[in-house]
Amino acid sequence: MAIEITKIKVDASDLEVGMYVSELDRPWLESPFLFQGFLLQTNEDVQDVAKACEYVFVDVANSSAAVRTRLQTMAAAQGKPTVVKETDLQSQASFDDGYDFKEHLFLARKIYDHTRDYIDKTLTAVGQGSREVDTEQAKSLVNEMIDNILVKPHAMAWLTHLKNRDEYTLTHSINVCILALTFGRHMQLPREQLEILGLGALLHDIGKLRVPPEILNKPDRLTREEFEIMKTHPVEGYDILKEDLLMSPQILDIVLHHHERISGQGYPEGMLGDNISRLTKMTSIVDVFDAITSDRCYHDGVSPYIALQNIYRWTDNAFDKQLVEGFMGCMGLYPVGSVVELNQGQVAIVIATTPKTKLRPMLLMLTDKDKKFLKSRRILNLSMQDWEKATARLEITNVIDPKTLGISVRDILEQESMSAS
């Protein structure tokens, strides 16, 4: 079933309990609210928003039924009707009672493994001198990812933690594709744009196979001369793909310009912000996010939580601020794959989060209160209404470095995704 919805501008004086605020009239980091995306549940909530903002943007579909009719009337008056699948909206709002994470993890793992096989074969062929890439298969795999991510993005997002230091280029290509599509879904891109974004992201680093392996895999800092050679990979990738009829100019733009920066200090052309396409800017953000959270031959990756902080710090010189804020909203306060500690001492991994559950995500419990590892891991959904009534309510208190407890997120994910079958 599809319903007509849209994100509409609403003056603060017209806000009511039951409306879902999806954007503010200013960057959320400059507001008193922790994150964008929240339901006005009380009159006090309405007053708090009215004090901070002159207007906000309200998501009609995620608002309560009691105010939806009025909002749809306002949307029609603004001439902004949109059709969105009901199932997609539910997955953004919360984890419904029938949500089987294990099932979705199994389905996502199948797509991931097929994509891994494709990238492995493609990189091997390109590395051996082939200039032919099976872009038809790449497009098919991207569409499978889109179908999966549009319904339930959480399992596929967790699979980006199947990182391997010795296979960085291979896993990085898949991860950037998954993260880009997840980001694009959050930004409500139409299907056609998601296909372009996904295909560009999947193939963005294909030119690296034209870089000598002794430079590509060097465990130390590159010399100036070596870095100049490394900087040729976007042009090499563009040259490999430019004759393919399936490669639209937008896809080729992502491959060629994903290392451009808004300050003009990127490469290969030193383009300034306004000249870099939106989809390319989005790819650049997720490219850096996956790179700095990955263990590579010359450094260990940082946590997703720290990576988001770093990317925000680099915004002025490197990235589009509005898109960075959108990516942070997409990933949440506790990004999937974060290892967290609870107020009673337990340790868990965040395996799913949504705009409405960013403070109370779905967890895979790893230890008991005494930090002893559980023999049988269990899934805990902190957003369940039962927790609101609990006298000893569980809360996330902080994000921790998994290495301090000898935790390998990759190994746990490998075990869980294989057992899901």
pLDDT, tens digit, 9 for 90 and up, residues 94-122: 454 445 677 788 889 999 999 999 999 98
What is the per-residue pLDDT for 33? 65
What is the per-residue pLDDT for 270? 95
**Collapsed DSSP state (helix, strand, coil) of residue 82:** strand
Q: Read off the DSSP letter of residue 390.
A: -
How far apart are alpha carbons 144 and 181 in whole angstroms? 11
> Under CATH, what is the fold of the domain 101-328?
Hypothetical protein af1432 (1.10.3210)
Cα 5–200–266 angle (5° rounding)?
110
Which residue ranges make up each domain of the chain?
A: 2-93, 101-328, 339-419
Taking Cα atoms as reference points, which of 328, 307, 351 lies closest to residue 37? 328
- Counting beta carbons within 10 angstroms of the beta carbon of residue 400, is it exposed (0 to 12), middle (13 to 18) or buried (19 or more)? middle
CA atoms within 13 A on the CB side of 378: 7
Taking Cα atoms as reference points, which of 109, 262, 285 lies closest to residue 184? 285
Pairing of strands 347-352, 362-367: antiparallel
Taking Cα atoms as reference points, which of 1, 15, 57 lies closest to residue 329? 57
pLDDT tens-digit profile of 368-398?
999 999 888 888 888 776 555 556 678 899 9
Taking Cα atoms as reference points, which of 217, 187, 183 lies closest to residue 198? 183
User: What sign does the CA torsion over 21, 67, 64, 156 have?
Assistant: negative
Those residues whose C-beta lies under 8 Å from the C-beta of residue 374, and which sit 6 or more positions away, are 365, 366, 367, 368
28: number of Cβ within 10 Å: 16
Torsion of the alpha carbons at 421, 155, 339 and 347, rounded to the nearest 10: -50
What is the per-residue pLDDT for 98? 41
- Counting beta carbons within 10 angstroms of the beta carbon of residue 321, is it exposed (0 to 12), middle (13 to 18) or buried (19 or more)? middle
What is the per-residue pLDDT for 82? 44
What is the per-residue pLDDT for 391? 60
Asked if residue 279 lies in contact with residue 196, where contact means CB atoms within 8 angstroms, the answer is: yes
Please tell me the total number of residues recorded for the chain in this structure. 421
Taking Cα atoms as reference points, which of 110, 177, 116, 100 lies closest to residue 146? 177
How far apart are alpha carbons 312 and 292 in whole angstroms? 13
pLDDT tens-digit profile of 349-370?
999 887 677 778 889 999 999 9
Can you list the residues of the chain whose pLDDT is less than 70?
1-6, 27-37, 80-100, 166, 355, 385-392, 419-421
What is the per-residue pLDDT for 267? 95
What is the per-residue pLDDT for 340? 95
Asked if residue 134 lies in contact with residue 169, where contact means CB atoms within 8 angstroms, the answer is: no
How far apart are alpha carbons 206 and 141 in whole angstroms? 16
